[in-house]
Amino acid sequence: KIHNYPIPKTGSYSIFITFLIILILNNFFNIFADDFELVIIGSLLIFIVGFLDDVFNLSAMKKIVL
């Protein structure tokens, strides 16, 4: 897709960093459930695929395989 104006590709980084900060605070204050590790792993995988898509402009099939 070709955009008529520049589109920032790094917007998800700030969301992911905020999410990690919340998870670190959760370790100190134990606000959420103990099985939160699965959420961490899942969000990390989604972040990595998004990062690789930003860098290498992956096709939809490659993103599904990853």
User: What local confidence, expressed as pLDDT, does residue 26 receive?
Assistant: 79
pLDDT tens digits, one per residue of 16-31: 888 888 888 877 887 7
pLDDT-derived band at 65, boundaries 50, 70, 90: confident
8 Å CB contact between 42 and 11:
no
Query: Measured between alpha carbons, how far apart are the two ends of the chain, in Å?
Result: 21
User: What local confidence, expressed as pLDDT, does residue 33 receive?
Assistant: 67
Give the 3-state secondary structure of residue 3.
coil
pLDDT tens digits, one per residue of 35-51: 677 777 888 888 888 88
